[in-house]
Chain A
């Protein structure tokens, strides 16, 4: 019931909410980003980061430092924080936290399946997987020869099983283009997550449905723009859109028939939340769209912290950390490649 969470939330969730808010205070601020942007090389960046929460993870790295090492170590810290929270959580918070990582699990599964189809070594593939998306039987994915076995042997035990039944029959699994499979899985995942949050009710449901709706809409726009000019039919495109969000259902109808970016813009400008994003871009330009979406997402995520006693803070914290890692990757690459003039193009400042 909305409003009475203050009475009972802290029994099970108080400790972890405090932890998450502590972590949130450790996110890099605009001042930190400005300092990092002034660095001349990667060692300077390492020095600046050693003053932040990332210090202990980076100090043992020998120079010369590589941008991928920085990203790896920061991701490692994220994973450690997440695991710490996960093992302290009880139901239903632990299910909620698990939901957060399903997205990465889907990416890992798709990566291993395509790698096996092209006969790559299993060990190499496992190293390339995202650490948040690892599950125990992931190595056995490489054993399966086709999709049906894959499903029967491995996936039926994982939480991803119900999503695969959405992928229709096993014949479809064999022929389906791998990217379409990934998007179909993700769509099923988002809808499942949405239903779960609705079941939880209260502030969690409200905030999460807002965040998930934005996510679904963003993916719909991305799918539309990327499938312009490809062989993806309108029916298939519509099948990849999620069944919730601001754009559902009329926006999806209109997006499905779009053939170029200006038509997409025309559709999106009818919806006030997205009109602001699209008005920032001049006609015919789609480079800034990704950054605009990230900025909007960050804005909404920060707002999630304004309320207490709900689980959406965890989701918001994970997403904000991922954005921070993206920012760090961008800054390190710009510094390493001597392109400091472009640094401010893509850094999204949070606070």
Chain B
């Protein structure tokens, strides 16, 4: 999966590690909060849905009665009564006002009806319609909000956090490797140094031996080699020809 290998392109330094860790903390907290918001919105959504179902049923009945009432009027006053009424109306008695309501952090529109002037008529059908309109717009807005929130939660959970985690592990890996390189370098240098010291010591010993040999050879008037073999030969193979 792409998630396994995705990481941010950063310089693997300690500061960056600190920055990445801070980001991870932020992402985790954001994820938890958004999840809570999403759950709260879903609860509201379900309640709204129930209300819409009841409103729609009652609207169905109301519309049936209203429609029938219209038929009765048409029977008495002829088919054109609709146009006659429409032409004679000057201003609406029932008006609708819209306002914003804040539900769990989401701004939902809501319609209120209010009447201006009195009328003898029974306006319940229109009032139910207004309420239903209000509920349905809230439903749609809430749906959008839930989708966005869920999208964000999923993005955080499946994209951002893994990326940051991968980046952190990469930085840690790089840092460890740097440290190991350092250590190895150190050890290597130590090895070189030791060998150097040992070589120096060996050289010094050889030189000292040379000096002694020279001294002996000068004293005895023999060659260096004979002196060496004399010095060495104390415990070595005796030349049979030499008497003492």
- A and B are interacting partners: yes
Contacting A68 at CB < 8 Å: which of B78, B79, B87?
A: B79
Q: A68-B79, A107-B80, A329-B75 are in contact. Are A337 and B68 (CB under 8 A)?
A: yes
Taking a contact as CB atoms under 8 Å apart, the answer to whether B71 and A114 are in contact is no
Known: A107-B80, A111-B83, A128-B80. A334 touches B71 (CB 8 A): yes
Can you offer 11 A-B residue contacts whose CB atoms are under 8 A?
A111-B80, A115-B87, A128-B83, A326-B75, A329-B71, A333-B74, A337-B64, A337-B67, A337-B71, A338-B64, A342-B68
In the complex, chain B residues whose CB is within 8 Å of the CB of A290: 75-76
Whether B88 sits at the interface, judged by CB under 8 Å, is: yes
Instruction: State in angstroms the CA–CA spacing of A17 and B78 once bound together.
Output: 28
Mark contacts of A111-144 with chain B using CB atoms, 8 A cut-off: 1 yes-contact digit, 0 otherwise: 1001101100000000010100000000000000
SS of A interface (majority): helix
B210 in contact (CB, < 8 A): no
Distance, CA A19 to CA B126, complexed state (A): 50
Are B87 and A118 interface neighbours, CB within 8 A? yes
CB of B75 within 8 A of CB of A179, answer no
**A330-345 contact mask (Cβ, 8 Å, vs B): 1 or 0:** 1001100111001000
Q: For A334, what are the chain B residues with a Cβ–Cβ distance below 8 Å?
A: 68, 71
Which residue of the partner chain B has the closest CB to A333? B71
Tell me the dominant secondary structure on chain B's binding face.
helix
**Besides the known contacts A107-B80, A114-B84, A290-B76, 13 further A-B residue pairs in the complex with CB atoms under 8 A apart:** A68-B79, A107-B78, A111-B87, A115-B87, A118-B87, A128-B80, A178-B88, A329-B79, A333-B68, A337-B68, A339-B64, A342-B68, A346-B72
Least Cβ–Cβ distance between A325 and chain B, in angstroms: 9
What is the interface size of chain A, counting residues whose CB is below 8 A from a CB of the partner? Answer: 24
Q: Give complex CA distance A130, B84 in Å.
A: 13
Give per-residue flags for B158-171: 1 if the beta carbon is below 8 A from chain A beta carbons, else 0.
Answer: 00000000000000
List which A297-351 residues lie within 8 A (CB) of chain B.
326, 329-330, 333-334, 337-339, 342, 346
Distance between B160 CB and nearest chain A CB, rounded to angstroms:
55
Once the chains bind, are B75 and A111 in contact (CB under 8 Å)?
Answer: no
Question: In the complex, which residue of chain B has the Cβ closest to the Cβ of A322?
Answer: B78
| Distance from A292 Cβ to chain B, minimum over Cβ atoms (Å) | 12
Closest to A130 in B: B80
**Nearest Cβ on chain B to A199's Cβ, whole angstroms:** 30
B79 contact set on A, CB distance < 8 A = 68, 71, 329
Within the complex, the shortest CB–CB distance from A92 to chain B, in Å, comes to 29
Which B residues are in CB contact (< 8 Å) with A330?
A: 71, 75
A329-B88 Cα distance, complex, nearest whole Å: 24
Query: Which B residues from 45 to 102 make CB contacts under 8 A with A?
Result: 64, 67-68, 71-72, 74-76, 78-80, 83-84, 87-88
Bound complex: CA of A110 vs CA of B80, how far in Å? 12
B67 nearest in chain A by CB position: A337
